[in-house]
Structure 1
Amino acid sequence: MPTGTHPPLQRGASEPLAGQLAERFAQRIRERLLLPGARLPSVRDCARQHGVSPHTVVAAYDQLQAAGLLEARRQRGFFVRETRPAASRSPKPLATTRQAPVDATALIRGMFEADAGRSPGLGTLPAEWLDPVLLQSALRRLNQADSQSLQVSYGDPSGDERLRAALSQRLADLGIHASPAQILTTNGATHALDLLIRTQLQPGDAVLVDDPGWAIIFARLTQAGIRLLPVPRGVHGPDLGVLATLAAEHAPRLYLTVPVLHNPTGHSLDLATAHKLLRLADEHDFSIVEDDSYGFLAAEHVPRLAALDGLRRVVYVSGFSKVLTPAWRVGYLAAAPERLGALTDAKLLDGLTSSPVMERAVALCLEQGRLRRHAQRLRERLAQARQRVATLAARQGFRWAAPPDGLFGWLDAGVDTERLAQPLLDAGWLTAPGALFSATRCPGSLMRINMATSQDPAFWRLLRACADDISGHSATP
């Protein structure tokens, strides 16, 4: 039985079918596989998926509501309660469960726990695509004197000097002119974004964000008391008409965006849109945080906002977890000198310094060109994977919102992908429905597809069957 697949309900057992079904959902809720706000299947869909009558499903949902785990919303369906009492039974082990991607926390858990071979919704490259030999070699090349001095000191609060020099050269290759003094290293790109939120914003400030966009950023901003202003993201970049209207009405402080190989769509900003966006930033006096976490997977000629702006209004953020290793947590930001003082102070208060040993090892990977060659191999392998996934998707009659690029594709499944996620999870497949990437949790027919982890024809056959099942029953009066 595949991991995550659930056995059928047992007819004739001492526990009635409704009780068995209620306990199945209750277990998922207790184990946080269904988090607050998650929508359960409709009565009709649930009855079909589990081979029971609608009356049985209604009875099960009634039990869950009575236990305080579920709430019914008029004409919308059944949802896990936003607040619920502590479960009366101890959670069962998670060894045979899969993570249902219903919010930012669940998405992070999915990255930690997922089996890449059965995770078309994964947000990273599978481990076998990375190069552990490259990492081991970099650590060995640290000479003994350097290694000893690095291991017995906190290191420079701004980051390892050799890494910042290597990053300055990396940015120059992208057309971004930043001296080592304009670069601050961090514990990953997410840490860099967190420092910016804490130093550049106050509760109540308004911030423009891509929609669809990165759920973890939505969660961090909301937690900090920031008002989100979602800007629709299209093939060529943000909808500049909507952005201009929001900027005029709400005076945002920042626009947080992923211009290159956008997560989740895979789209990149074109040059004309980039120029217009920078003019709007000047006109409405907001800064731009450019998250280039997937930059190593893109061609170097793709325009970067920081290159066009000269780090005047733009703060550039990137890291190495997507192509090197997520374990080292090495990231960085580049900004105008007047921003660096507050950011460095926040880093010191947050955790003193970042790891000088890991940063020096990354510097060696950059200095000797090995990381550049590794990234080139990844780009070539991803190009082949995209061709294969495109063939598999077309064979099953699916289309893309735009031609896929980089690691991700934005697939149109033709039906509500939140509804699709549950039967796929029951069959052991972890997916990423589009609502997960919506700032307003708006349902829809789009879903993120990871090109490196979606090459199993069995997934595409099941996706087609589940989509047809949902579509056919939705059309039934």
Structure 2
Amino acid sequence: MCLRNAIAAPARGPTLAETVVAKLREDIVSGALPPGSRLLSIRKAAEAFQVSKNTIVEAYDRLAAAELVAARKGSGFVVVFAPDGTQRPKHVTEAVDIASLLSAQLDQDFQIRVGDGRPPPSWTEQSEIRRHLASPGRSLLAESDAYGSALGFQPLRQQIASRLGAQHIDARDENILTTFGANHALDLIIRSMLVAGDAVLVDEPGYYPLFAKLALAQVRMVGIRRNPDGPDIADLTAKLISERPKLFFTQSLGHNPTGGSIALPVAHAVLTAALRYNLVIVEDDPFADLPSPSIHRLATLDQLNNVISVGTFAKTLSASLRSGFIAARPDRIAALAELKMLTTVNSSGHIERLLHRLIAEGHYDRHLKRLWQRIESASSKVQEKLHLGGWATYSDQTTGYYQYLLLPEGVSDLDLARDGAKEGIFIAPGSVFCVDKQTPLARGIRINVSRADDPRFYDFLLRNL
């Protein structure tokens, strides 16, 4: 173009997308949006900038192309540019990326939360038990404000041991360490028993927040194929020989995300292989308190000799209470208690006293019966709707909140999650739960039966599968 024509041509102002990019670039480069900050969802950003959703999508794509932000599976865009030139260590970035679905799960922007890992509050703290979460007219002893033992509130530990006894596990209070939920328990076990470079086995698919913790500890994860009735024994045996792992993290009841539970012959085979190859098993057991018909657990068969059991009240009572426990041999509990004292001093005495009262007065068990009835009813309805739609689930025998929908050939779990997000539907893509993203089981989605009662979700499946 000649200079005259260039002068004569009217000046073009910035497009709406360019305006959005310029504003966000300024915030990122100035440090107002530091590394790790999550950008607003497409809908919220469109409202904030008063532009269309397509404009925001274009702006975010430009920022990503400029390596200022990066898309994280299931949780939108996150700032990755550091103004001072520093970057997160690689293993920290990997851990945050693995846990990206958790970030999306904490976002309250979704109207339909079928991929959520937790039940709705109406099933737990907002149910009838809510009236017991406050303590009007009840005074606490002065010593309840003190730190107390790092092991946790002893009367609660005794109650937990007694409940384990009712589940055919011989335990006493010295076998119990209370924690800030199951994730805190898993973190303590990883810190206490593993060092960078160690190999561990995990369910495939399995519990993705655990994967993030292991990545943060720079531990090498090896997936064990998960069958509807538990870990694949042939795969487990082969990898015990080739990898020589220190620990095997697994779930026996209501497996997350497939929903299946371990069969008795499989449980025996897992314990036999672990004993032969000097493998310690960490059994994550969030649904142990449910009055379900399945009683096959590794901790029951092993009696805490070679199994460390992790329990929590988050899935059955309230995720907000953040309380759980570790059940193990006394020597392991003592070592974990020392680490707990060094890292958090203690868990919450007030919360543990509240839990002790709820259990002692029978409120917890009555609540569990109602919760189990809800789970059974919801699970049957979801299974019926999925079968009517012609869709296959991985396991028909489920215990807990989850069912795993297998996707047809050619359907991407990530694309399905992105399409769902555009319609306000939070979907948990199967690849997030897999170490090996190419495994056939990665092509699925986790469905939380407690949140799958909205016809818009099934209409979405009909249109997209």
Common topology (TM > 0.5): yes
Measure the CA separation in 1 of the matches of 2:14 and 2:362: 63
Deviation at 1:337, TM superposition (A): 1.4
Once the two structures are superposed, the pairs formed by residues 358-397 of structure 1 within 5 Å of their partners are 358-397=351-390
Residues 218 and 368 of structure 1: is their aligned pair in 2 closer, same or farther, counting only changes over 3 Å?
same
Matched, 1:149 2:149: no
Q: 1:426 aligns with which of 395, 403, 422?
A: 422
- Report what 1:270 is aligned to: 263
Q: Structure 2: which amino acid aligns with 1:343?
A: L
- Report what 1:465 is aligned to: 463
Q: Is the 8 A contact 2:70 2:79 kept in 1?
A: no
Matched, 1:408 2:417: no
Measure the CA separation in 1 of the matches of 2:235 and 2:378: 35
Larger deviation, residues 456-465 vs 282-291 = 456-465
Q: 2:112 aligns with which of 86, 110, 118?
A: 118
- Report what 1:91 is aligned to: none
Q: Structure 2: which amino acid aligns with 1:134?
A: I
- Report what 2:194 is aligned to: 201
Deviation at 1:392, TM superposition (A): 2.5
- Report what 2:48 is aligned to: none
Measure the CA separation in 2 of the matches of 1:382 and 1:103: 31
Deviation at 1:395, TM superposition (A): 3.4
Measure the CA separation in 1 of the matches of 2:291 and 2:444: 23
Matched, 1:242 2:235: yes
Residues 84 and 103 of structure 1: is their aligned pair in 2 closer, same or farther, counting only changes over 3 Å?
closer
- Report what 2:245 is aligned to: 252
Measure the CA separation in 1 of the matches of 2:189 and 2:64: 41
Measure the CA separation in 2 of the matches of 1:138 and 1:380: 22
Q: Structure 1: which amino acid aligns with 2:116?
A: L
Measure the CA separation in 1 of the matches of 2:464 and 2:205: 24
Residues 66 and 324 of structure 1: is their aligned pair in 2 closer, same or farther, counting only changes over 3 Å?
closer
Deviation at 1:306, TM superposition (A): 0.9
**Secondary structure, in 3 states, of the residue corresponding to 2:99?**
helix
| 1:223-264 C-alpha deviation (Å, 9 max, x unpaired) | 111111110111011111111111111211100111110100
Q: 1:32 aligns with which of 38, 48, 53?
A: 38
Measure the CA separation in 1 of the matches of 2:54 and 2:105: 32
Deviation at 1:138, TM superposition (A): 5.8
TM-score normalised by the chain length of structure 2:
0.80
Deviation at 1:68, TM superposition (A): 2.2
Q: Is the 8 A contact 1:203 1:225 kept in 2?
A: yes
- Report what 1:40 is aligned to: none
Q: Is the 8 A contact 1:142 1:361 kept in 2?
A: no
Measure the CA separation in 2 of the matches of 1:14 and 1:454: 47
Residues 142 and 180 of structure 1: is their aligned pair in 2 closer, same or farther, counting only changes over 3 Å?
farther
Q: Structure 2: which amino acid aligns with 1:417?
A: D
- Report what 2:207 is aligned to: 214
| 1:5-30 C-alpha deviation (Å, 9 max, x unpaired) | xxxxxxxx97669869999x999x99
Measure the CA separation in 1 of the matches of 2:321 and 2:176: 18
Deviation at 1:160, TM superposition (A): 0.9
| 1:71-94 C-alpha deviation (Å, 9 max, x unpaired) | 99xxxxxxx99994259xxxxxxx
Residues 338 and 466 of structure 1: is their aligned pair in 2 closer, same or farther, counting only changes over 3 Å?
same
Larger deviation, residues 198-207 vs 103-112 = 103-112
Residues 17 and 392 of structure 1: is their aligned pair in 2 closer, same or farther, counting only changes over 3 Å?
farther
Q: Structure 1: which amino acid aligns with 2:416?
A: L
How many residues are paired up? 414
Matched, 1:456 2:451: no
- Report what 1:327 is aligned to: 320
Deviation at 1:302, TM superposition (A): 1.7
| 1:99-121 C-alpha deviation (Å, 9 max, x unpaired) | xxx95433222333236751110
Q: 1:436 aligns with which of 423, 426, 432?
A: 432
| 1:200-222 C-alpha deviation (Å, 9 max, x unpaired) | 11111110100101111111011
| 1:136-171 C-alpha deviation (Å, 9 max, x unpaired) | 436538953xx1234331122211111011111110
- Report what 1:45 is aligned to: none
Measure the CA separation in 2 of the matches of 1:205 and 1:184: 25
- Report what 1:471 is aligned to: none
Once the two structures are superposed, the pairs formed by residues 123-202 of structure 1 within 5 Å of their partners are 123-132=117-126, 133-137=128-132, 139-140=134-135, 143-144=138-139, 147-202=140-195
What residue ranges of structure 2 are gaps of 5+ in the alignment? 1-11, 29-34, 42-52, 84-95
Q: Structure 2: which amino acid aligns with 1:450?
A: N
Measure the CA separation in 2 of the matches of 1:346 and 1:70: 36
Q: Is the 8 A contact 1:392 1:457 kept in 2?
A: no
Residues 219 and 71 of structure 1: is their aligned pair in 2 closer, same or farther, counting only changes over 3 Å?
closer
Deviation at 1:175, TM superposition (A): 0.8
Q: Structure 2: which amino acid aligns with 1:209?
A: V
Q: Structure 1: which amino acid aligns with 2:38?
A: R
Q: Is the 8 A contact 2:39 2:77 kept in 1?
A: no
Matched, 1:67 2:56: no
Q: Structure 1: which amino acid aligns with 2:447?
A: I
Deviation at 1:402, TM superposition (A): 1.7
**Secondary structure, in 3 states, of the residue corresponding to 2:38?**
coil
Q: Is the 8 A contact 1:159 1:354 kept in 2?
A: yes
Measure the CA separation in 2 of the matches of 1:333 and 1:126: 25
Q: Is the 8 A contact 1:185 1:333 kept in 2?
A: yes
Once the two structures are superposed, the pairs formed by residues 3-22 of structure 1 within 5 Å of their partners are none
Residues 68 and 378 of structure 1: is their aligned pair in 2 closer, same or farther, counting only changes over 3 Å?
same
Q: Is the 8 A contact 1:365 1:371 kept in 2?
A: yes
Measure the CA separation in 2 of the matches of 1:273 and 1:20: 59
- Report what 1:90 is aligned to: none
Measure the CA separation in 2 of the matches of 1:298 and 1:262: 16
Measure the CA separation in 2 of the matches of 1:401 and 1:194: 29
- Report what 2:4 is aligned to: none
Measure the CA separation in 1 of the matches of 2:109 and 2:70: 32
